[in-house]
Amino acid sequence: MISLSNISKRFERGAAPAVDDVSFTVERGETVVLLGSSGCGKTTTLKMINRLVEPTSGAVEVDGADTRTVDPLALRRSIGYVFQDIGLFPHMTVTRNVEIVPRLLGWDAPRRRARADELLDRVGLPSAEYADRPPAQLSGGQQQRVGIARALAADPDYLLMDEPFGALDAVTRDQLQGELIRIKTELAKTIVFVTHDLFEALRLGDRIAVMNAGKLEQIGTPDDLLAHPATPFVSDLFDQARRQARLIAGDRA
């Protein structure tokens, strides 16, 4: 379980807070999507969970332990992280990339290799074909599959995903969203997922946390948000989406 209590982040003294008094809890096995437009503080919120960003005030607990009492390197190694711009290490093969966290944790080479092979197969990149390639030879979608395999390598309980499919084309994005749903049910991971795409949020999220200007507007299941929007911002968000859906339907008719 991940629990955020009254988290705020101010990057500069006197500036408006990037994240303003946000609290929510992610239950074991749940996927919570942080939804909002760019600059709303969702990525900063995500980074405060594994201490890539330190909160100005408030506390984060992971499995009941205040993260301030945990070594940040150990914390990050215990939580998988998937980056928006993928961030594979360009000078390492696919396997070396996937192995990186086990290597930092001191696993021996055969165990690392076996784990990397298993994960590559699981994310749809047969290890026999892809293991020794450099990332530059892979398509964007394939690279992000490697990114997901890297995040899963040390079998963490938690995954943090920062707009992982944002840079991919629609078809690839759709495929990878499907894969993620499959992986998540197979492996029972607890996931915090950041996106600005409402449809992605609706598809992947057990619950959605809508953020605007650093504040948490509302958190709830997709049905809750649709049926009972708590703020004008949330209802506008869904109204806009409905209008778009109608436009698409109208175009077809």
Q: Which residues bind other proteins (CB under 8 A)?
A: 50, 52, 72-77, 81, 83, 85-91, 100-101, 104, 150
Partner residues linked to 8 by β-bridges = 57
The least distance separating other proteins from the CB of residue 125, rounded to whole angstroms, comes to 18
Residues 111, 146 contacting (CB under 8 angstroms) = no
> What are the residue ranges of helices labelled H in 84-221?
94-98, 100-104, 109-122, 127-130, 140-152, 170-187, 198-204
The least distance separating other proteins from the CB of residue 77, rounded to whole angstroms, comes to 4
Rank residues 77 and 122 by Cβ distance to other proteins and give the closer one: 77
The least distance separating other proteins from the CB of residue 143, rounded to whole angstroms, comes to 12
Could you tell me which of 140, 201, 193, 196 has the C-alpha nearest to residue 167?
140
* Tokens read off for 166: 């944002």
Do β-strands 190-195 and 31-35 pair in parallel, antiparallel, or remain unpaired?
parallel
Rank residues 33 and 153 by Cβ distance to other proteins and give the closer one: 153
Backbone angles phi, psi at 123, to 5 degrees: -90, 15
Residues 34, 46 contacting (CB under 8 angstroms) = yes
The least distance separating other proteins from the CB of residue 140, rounded to whole angstroms, comes to 13
Residues 19, 8 contacting (CB under 8 angstroms) = yes
Rank residues 147 and 222 by Cβ distance to other proteins and give the closer one: 147
The least distance separating other proteins from the CB of residue 63, rounded to whole angstroms, comes to 17
The least distance separating other proteins from the CB of residue 159, rounded to whole angstroms, comes to 12
Rank residues 74 and 181 by Cβ distance to other proteins and give the closer one: 74
User: DSSP assignment, residue 40?
Assistant: S
Rank residues 34 and 216 by Cβ distance to other proteins and give the closer one: 34
Rank residues 52 and 230 by Cβ distance to other proteins and give the closer one: 52
The least distance separating other proteins from the CB of residue 168, rounded to whole angstroms, comes to 15
Rank residues 104 and 128 by Cβ distance to other proteins and give the closer one: 104
Cβ neighbours of 31 (radius 10 Å): 22
* Tokens read off for 148: 């997901």
Geometric angle at alpha carbon 102, from 98 and 108, rounded to 5°: 115
C-alpha span between 151 and 149 (Å, rounded) = 5
